[in-house]
Amino acid sequence: MTIMRLLLVLSLLCPLVSGYSERDRAHDLMSKYPLIDGHNDLALQLRILHNNRLSQIDLHNVSKVATDITRLQAGHVQAQMFAVYVMCGAQEKDAVRLTLEQIDVVRRMCTEYQDFELVTSAQELKTSQMRHKIACLISIEGGHSIDSSLPALRMFYQLGVRSMALTHTCNTPWAESSSKVYNVYQRHNNSLTHFGKAVVEEMNRLGMIVDLSHTSWDTAGAVLKHSKAPIIFSHSSSHSICNHSRNVPDWLLQELKKNRGLIMVNLHNNFISCRDDANISHVADHFDHIKNVIGAELLGIGGDFEGAISFPQGLEDVSKYPALIQELLQRNWTENDLADVLRRNFLRVFEEVEMVRDNLREKMPSEVQIPIKEVQNPCRLVLRPPDRRGLPSDQTPSSRADQRPTDLIILALVLLLQRLLKME
């Protein structure tokens, strides 16, 4: 017993004597396996604070935000999924235009700055690490951005989008949100419509990652059963630890395990502690619980910086990620488990999504269209010739053309009469 106590004391003293602490261990681990972060809303803040005018700022050091190049490097963030988000109020209006503008600003910042590199494949993501670049992945946050159009979805893919969340805080005509903020497109017992399934199928065919953060549990369950490829929750946490509707319950985690997908833990206080304040220990509780339910091989990190208001003490910006890894090391997480969490799990999912795409290469692009009655969008133009039978006789194109010579004659007579009157 005395020998055992002595060994325990020595094990505790060794880091102090050697000067190699858990903090050093966390930084070393993240140097070897730098983080792939599943969600960041910097593009939204660039619009809010700077109207997307990149010429007015230096992305190495940006005030009023939690993300810039300097802090990404300090936090060992090697790849960042940048969200392209437009407000739900743009649904049925100009969501597609706004989404294009947000894609533009992400593409610009990731091509105009040498520290960044825009990537569109798992292989490019791996190569960017060897090139010591911060890889940029583009993700659309909210299916309302495609205006219920599969051609629009395909064009976004061509622009570099590699992931899309099916909803944000509003329902789309074809999928259901976890939020009740917007009373739009309400349905009963139809959380993923026929067109919604076509969206998932087309994303599988393209090789675009399906993101279920923000969807309702019923929609998430339906997608997990329908998708041929693994899906992600890019920024969601455990409902068992914090019973917020944005978090994932254990039964849905089990479905995720069958799908071989990934849940990337969100750091927003309200999703972590269900309060306005939280700390790193609260965040680690989510990791522990999810690991116990489905294993570390289905876990990742999706911080949600710039998209939420408050973050745990000690995790206030992207430079602080090593503190979370240090906490998990202190909770006896193995370095192999943490290597999975930091990057290997996401790479595995991305590669499997691309494998499904390759297996579907013979499948033609989907031509499924959503029924007009399901969209109910007054701004959606139906391209067809006017029905002449429904027009009054004096409003048909031919009758208007016939009237033109008569109108000119009348106008000439009026002008002539005015000249004669002046001569008198």
Let me know if 132 is a catalytic residue: no
**Is 27 part of the annotated catalytic residue set?**
no
Catalytic residue among 37, 92, 117, 141: 141
Q: 68-100 burial by CB neighbour count: b if 16+ within 10 A, else e? A: bbbbbbbbbbbbbbbbbbbebebbbbebbebbb
Annotated catalytic residue 276 = no
C-alpha span between 79 and 302 (Å, rounded): 11
If one counts every other C-beta atom within 10 angstroms of the C-beta of residue 374, the result is: 15
Which of 76, 144, 214, 244 is catalytic? The answer is 214
Name the token pair of 422. Answer: 């002046």
Pairing of strands 161-165, 35-40: unpaired
> Residue 421 belongs to what H/E stretch?
helix 397-423
Q: Which residues pair with 232 in a beta bridge?
A: 211, 262
The span from the CA of 335 to the CA of 60, in Å, is 30
Which of 117, 202, 255, 304 is labelled catalytic? Answer: 304
Q: Position of tokens 């000249």?
A: 419
Q: Are 39 and 23 in contact, with CB atoms under 8 Å apart?
A: no
- Give the DSSP letter string of 254-276: HHHHHHT-EEEE---HHHHTSSS
Which of 68, 76, 117, 168 is catalytic? The answer is 168
239 tagged catalytic: no
Select which of 235, 239, 244, 286 is catalytic. 235
Q: Is 168 a catalytic residue?
A: yes
Report the catalytic residues.
Answer: 39, 41, 141, 168, 214, 235, 304
